[in-house]
Amino acid sequence: MNDALSLLKKAMELSPENPEAAYYTGVAYSRLGRYEEAEEMLYKTLDLDSSAVDAYLELGRLYHNASKCDKSEEILSKFMSLTEDESLKAHASKLIETCGKEVSERPYRLSIAFGGQYDSNVIIEPSNPPVGGDRDDDVRALAYVTAGATLYEKGVYKLKADYNFYQSLHVHLSSYNVHYHKITPSLELAVSDIFRPSVGYSFEYTRLGSDRYSRFHTLYGKVSVRETKQLSADAVYEYKDLNYWDSDLFETNSIRSGHQHTIGLKQYLYLDRLTGDVYYYGDFNRAEESHWSFNGHRLGAELTYKILPPLYVYASAEYNKRKYRDDFPGSGESRSDKMQQYSVRLTYLLSKRLAISLTESYTINESNLSIFDYDRSITGLFLTVGVL
């Protein structure tokens, strides 16, 4: 495409008033993600030839890709009023309908991320570090697999299954190597474009080093509401059955077994270059030993900004407060934690199926019991491959 653009630019130099050269130059810029230059050339095409209706379609597609939905609808509506091609009208209508919405799911998807991290404080669960356990920094390699499939779709029903796999390998602290699986079948009912309830189940299994660590069963229900093109919201309830196993590293891990109820709301925002959400969740945990039971509240936000079409920045922040229900053994008082978590990720799309990301996260846990105070910083570099 870069070679084609070079030739088209030479053609424009030789014939600057040629609408066809201007149009194809605009198309080339658009395909390369250089939207501002593409926009300029496509409008120049219309200035040179007002009957060049394909320029309206390309402009509408450009604004659609940039999530400028109002502008896309305006331009594509103009195109539909001018063209006689019914197939292109249907295509333009589809662009209007899908602008600002998530891209339709493929029947199957699979991506694999490889990378490395430096962790300043290696602990398996930041919210529940082992009391008196050694904490140290380390470097680890990791692989993360994300897969999904639409198993059945008919009418308003859609049956899906998602799968996640995670494996970490530490350079020094091999007893903290994590081996994790999660499978989540779910059923969604597309009652309307506005209202979509869904139910699901997930099974999670984790090994730590060579030992079993945990097994979770989760049932959830979710109601998604599309308020406008720019706004949507989810209301969520989940019940989680928690099972932990004792090991040499976590000798009393099993006393945290029990169950947890979670309720929450998440509000999504979709703008031209910015997408994000804010959320609130209440967690109500009941463990085998009451000093591990807690009532918790989480409030956070996540934002993704398109710096340039191939370059994205993601940032998140969360405040998590937990009040435990009974005195912690030996302390004479119940534990109360306030956790702050911040993260940022810079991602560059090398191609449609290949991306490189630089990540940083920072956690601060402040507790009334000093043994649970800690800071943690994790820096990572990842390569993600979209296989399907």
Question: Whose CA is closest to 270, among 72, 40, 38?
Answer: 72
- Predicted confidence at residue 264, as pLDDT, reads 97
The backbone region for 243, taken as left when phi is positive above 0, alpha when psi lies in -120 to 50, beta otherwise, is: beta
In whole angstroms, give the CA distance from residue 364 to residue 373.
Answer: 8
At 248 the three-state DSSP class reads coil
Beta-ladder partners of 4: none
Phi and psi, residue 288, nearest 5°: -60, -40
Give first-to-last CA distance, the chain, whole Å.
24
Cβ neighbours around 36 below 10 Å, total: 10
In whole angstroms, give the CA distance from residue 22 to residue 33.
Answer: 17
- Predicted confidence at residue 134, as pLDDT, reads 56
Q: Are 298 and 280 in contact (CB under 8 A)?
A: yes
Class (C level, CATH) for 108-386:
mainly beta
Q: Which CATH architecture has domain 2-98?
A: Alpha Horseshoe (1.25)
Structure tokens at 294: 């807690």
Average pLDDT of the chain, as a whole number: 88
Phi and psi, residue 122, nearest 5°: -75, 110
- Predicted confidence at residue 5, as pLDDT, reads 58
In a 13 Å sphere around the CA of 118, the CA atoms on its Cβ side amount to 4
| Angle, in degrees to the nearest 10, between helices 35-48 and 53-65 | 160
Domain spans in the chain, listed from the N-terminal domain onward: 2-98, 108-386
- Predicted confidence at residue 132, as pLDDT, reads 47
* Topology alike, domains 2-98 and 108-386: no
Tokens 């009418």 identify what position? 155
- Predicted confidence at residue 103, as pLDDT, reads 47
Q: Are 202 and 183 in contact (CB under 8 A)?
A: yes
Structure tokens at 160: 């899906």
Predicted confidence (pLDDT) per residue in 105-164, tens digit: 568 899 999 999 999 988 766 445 544 455 689 999 999 999 999 998 887 889 999 999
Task: Say how far residue 49 (Cα) sits from the centre of its chain.
Answer: 43
> Which residues does the chain have with pLDDT short of 70?
1-14, 16, 100-106, 124-135
Cβ neighbours around 202 below 10 Å, total: 18
- Predicted confidence at residue 193, as pLDDT, reads 73
Say which residues have a Cβ less than 8 Å from residue 292's Cβ, sequence separation at least 6: 128, 255, 256, 258, 285, 324
Cβ neighbours around 106 below 10 Å, total: 11
- Predicted confidence at residue 319, as pLDDT, reads 98
Predicted confidence (pLDDT) per residue in 326-356, tens digit: 998 888 899 999 999 999 999 999 988 899 9
List the beta strands (DSSP E) in the chain. 108-119, 138-154, 157-170, 178-189, 195-208, 211-226, 231-244, 258-270, 274-287, 294-308, 311-327, 334-351, 354-367, 374-386
Amino acid letter for position 44: K
- Predicted confidence at residue 135, as pLDDT, reads 64
Angle at 117 between CA 115 and CA 118, to 5 degrees: 160
